[in-house]
Structure 1
Amino acid sequence: MKREFDVVVIGAGGRQAQAMLAAAARGTDVARWLAIDRAWRPETLAATRALGMQTREQDPLADGGTLDMLMRSTAIVANLAGPYYRTGFTVLDAAIAAGTDYLDICDDADITVPILSRDDAAKAAGVTAIIGLGSTPGVSNILIRLAVDHLNGADDVEIAWVVDAKDMTEAATKHFWHCFNLVDFDGTVHPVPLPGEMDSRVVDFPGSVGRQTVVKLAHPEPLTVPRFLPVKRAVNYGAIAPIDAHAVAAALAAVADEQQPGSTEQRTDMLVRAFQQFLTRFKGGERIGSGLQIDVHTNGNGLRYASGADTSMEEATGVPAAAGVIMLAEGDTPRGGVFAPEALSPGKFFAALRRVSLGGGGLGVYRLENGRQGEKLRIRDLMADRSEAA
């Protein structure tokens, strides 16, 4: 029996969700989509309705019965209500119970392993759940899958990214601080190291981003890539640019650390507000932009992806999520279970991404030889190689 809605989006008033909704409307009919937020801003509500979607002001996470009824009314739920280390199981468990397919943009490492443990329950219910389908994680995982397929496996994956301080909303700040709590492959969470104890490296990103110092941070890719792909090890490094903003963020992350005695949500909120005030000194300058570098290799030989562009965090995250929802709706994902993005077909994903994207991005792919960047390639050639092999 067909359900009332094709897709329900929870947390639809947020910046990343708004980018996802606009992208989805470019690629598919959204008349049977329901966008829910607990407190719509008037301009955001008007923009959502202008896309042709139905809207509702509601907090379904506040009441289990309401959430269950909502899950039974839709074929797919897109959960964009973070932080996922607080809301991670709530919507997914309700979706599995209702037989509803699920997608989120979870980028919290500490909840990733527990969420993957729902795989058996999702399979038994015939539910497909795609987690972490944004930019990083998300597109990063799928690029890694494409490289690993091309190389027929790889020992190491090394990810490095930088975000512009101008994109650091309160929600983004809380997530970024959470990344300083390193997470082992088995899900063990560690206290935030002091800034001088952090594992750091220097990365040269293309374009306006340039040379940046990044530090080892917790992220889902090191936990999912070796589980879903023939890769031995994956690591993640990240930072805010400029470095002054990053240094303050690292110090405050150690103060707000939830692993330390006496830490409270109220104290974290106070520190976040102080950091937001500090960031006002960077608001007037030129944007540095966002940078990404991914090395997929064995003994320094393999492939490198590199980009540096003035793409906002919400667009970089929301547009891939829209492509993922379309893939779920059209049956272009694996069926039955909880999957990280690297389980998706790169060819089908990039076809869906073209439908919803405004274009641009500036991602390059290169041969990596003895750890050095070499010949420039094209992503379409990597996909063509896999098509011919198949």
Structure 2
Amino acid sequence: MDSYCTLAFNHSVGIKITQRGWRENRRVLMRASDVGHRVLILGGTGRVGQSICRELQRRSRDESVDLEICIAGRNEQVGEEIVRESPSLQFKKVDYRDKDALVAAMKGVSLVVHSAGPFQQRQTAEVLEAAIGAGVNYQDVCDDVDHMEMSRSLHDDAVESNITAAICTGIYPGISNLMAAKAIRDLDAAPEQVTFDYFTAGTGGAGPTILSTTFLLCGEDVRTYVDGKPSIKKPASGVRRVDFGEQVGHKNVFLLNLPEVLSIAEVYKVPNISARFGTAPDIWNVLTRFMACAVPKKILTNQALIAKFSEFIGPLVRAVDAIVGGTTAMRVEAVGSDGSSRSLLYGHEELSECVGIAAAAFTWHLLMSKNLPKGVLYPEELLSDPDEFEAVLESGVRTAFDWKTFTEKSL
């Protein structure tokens, strides 16, 4: 049983986090040192980057840790406005595609956090390459399979440079990986199946970035696993209806090509894995499925063109967002070979906020832990210590309005 939560093993239970457990898990991450740290947040002028920054500032203040934060991005005007509102921050104008500027910005940095999405259709992992060259620990919120695989190919270089590079450490993927890992570990038998189901109303407050990401994913074949073998599906296919809890309800979701499918298959050898996503209003789901079926792949994989299209329909999207809100929900289920299952359910009021809070939980761990493994690591590989695992998961879901576990025993 988890040290920080009380679980009643009924069909449907909630996780209750005790104050004693919160203090114990906080000490796990505070045991490293009280020496100051310097963090560089690439994409720090964007919504996710700003959310990461706010959460790090809160933890630094609440836990009396000396933390220096530098936000970096291409939008100098926004960067200067952020610094005016929060004078303790610094801003550097940096284009992540400029290697010399990247390396210069990393001087004296403890950790670089890469939140400058979208990650789809990028040809190189230039920020990670720069971090390896500079000998600086790295973190990203990548949600793209190809970029994840490019990063993993640099594992030996990261080990040789003696750095820790934590990839795909947002909300999904990221916290969702830890949810799957927890569900798998809590099964009474070997895992037979893992399903990831996600819902975000509108753009979740993330604006054009998530819109571009979804449209770009419409141009990618979906990798799933069936009976231990890779199985390629069409994007936006395999529609099913999923219960995301009382506050969100039942929503339609469809297959997308997401990195957590590959990482869970690699780390836990689960034979059957898939990931699905859906949004609201349902007309956006219809549009997404139409694009996946009717629009030529060469258009859907053109990042510049998709970015322009996302900006063009931006006013309509913002109007819809104002009506539907930005609620995000995740349901991750693991099924054992004996038929038993464990599901974890998460809900939050706004995607752009919860991504930042989730990512900052990993950031804090990367800054405070004394025993970080070296190389390019998935979220589920980064946290081998059970106490550190629970501390990061607890911090990452801190502001969730829904956080429950469901258990079904085999007959």
TM over 0.5: yes
Q: What corresponds to 1:380 in structure 2? A: none
Provide the C-alpha distance between the structure 1 equivalents of 2:397 and 2:404, rounded to a whole number of angstroms: 17
Equivalent residue for 1:6, pick from 23, 38, 48: 38
Sequence identity, in percent?
Answer: 21
How far has the Cα of 1:22 moved from its partner?
A: 0.6
More deviation, 342-351/235-244: 342-351
- Amino acid across the alignment from 1:117: S
Q: 1:97-116 residue pairs with structure 2 within 5 A?
A: 97-116=133-152
* Shift in alpha-carbon separation, 1:61–1:248, aligned structure 2, 3 A: same
Aligned residue for 2:70, secondary structure, equals strand
Could you say what secondary structure the match of 1:172 adopts? helix
Taking structure 1 as reference, are residues 239 and 363 closer, same or farther at Cα in structure 2, changes over 3 Å only? same
Q: Does 1:171 align with 2:209?
A: yes
The CA deviation string for residues 321-353 of structure 1, in whole angstroms up to 9 with x for no partner, is: 111111111126641111111112453244246
What SS does the aligned partner of 1:260 have? helix
Of the three residues 160, 163, 177, the one matched with 2:197 is 160
1:58 deviation in Å? 1.2
What amino acid is the match of 2:41?
Answer: V
| 1:351 has 2:391 as partner | yes
Partners of 1:124 and 1:116 lie apart in 2 by 14
Deviation at 1:291, TM superposition (A): 2.0
Q: 1:287 to 1:207 in 2, by over 3 A?
A: farther
Alignment of 1:98-247 (within 5 A): 98-151=134-187, 153-167=190-204, 169-180=207-218, 181-184=220-223, 193=235, 198-247=237-286
The number of residues matched between the two structures is 362
| Paired residue secondary structure (1:231) | coil
User: Given that residues 245 and 279 in structure 1 are in contact (C-alpha distance below 8 angstroms), is that contact kept between their aligned partners in structure 2?
Assistant: no
SS at match of 2:143: coil
* From 316, 319, 324, the counterpart of 2:362: 324
Question: Relative to structure 2, which stretch is displaced further, 12-21 or 223-232?
Answer: 223-232
Contact 1:101 1:128 in 2 (8 A): yes
Note if contact 1:221-1:234 (Cα within 8 Å) is conserved in structure 2: no
1:361 is displaced (CA, Å) by: 3.0
TM score, norm. by length of structure 1: 0.82
What displacement does 1:87 show? 7.1
With over 3 angstroms needed to count, the CA separation of the structure-2 counterparts of 1:260 and 1:303, relative to structure 1, is same
Is 1:94 the counterpart of 2:130? The answer is yes
Distance 2:107 2:124 in 1: 19
1:17 corresponds to: 49
Q: Are the aligned partners of 1:126 and 1:335 in contact in 2 as well (CA < 8 Å)?
A: no
Give the RMSD, CA atoms, in angstroms. Answer: 3.1
Q: Give unpaired runs (5+ residues) of structure 1.
A: 372-390
Q: How far apart in 1 are the matches of 2:246 and 2:364?
A: 32
What 5-or-longer segments of structure 2 have no aligned partner? Answer: 1-34
Give the conservation status (yes or no) of the 8 Å contact 1:301–1:368. yes
Per the alignment, residue 64 of structure 1 pairs with 99
Which deviations, in whole Å up to 9, do the C-alpha atoms of 1:262-310 show, x marking residues without a partner?
964453234323443443552443537222111111254220112344x
- 2:311 matched residue in structure 1: 273
Instruction: Output one character per residue of 1:183-234: Cα deviation in whole Å (capped at 9) or x when no partner.
Output: 4379x998965x6xx2111112113321111111111110111112242232
**C-alpha distance in 1 between matches for 2:347 and 2:410:** 23
CA distance 1:177–1:33, change in 2 (3 Å): same
| 1:387 alignment partner in structure 2 | none
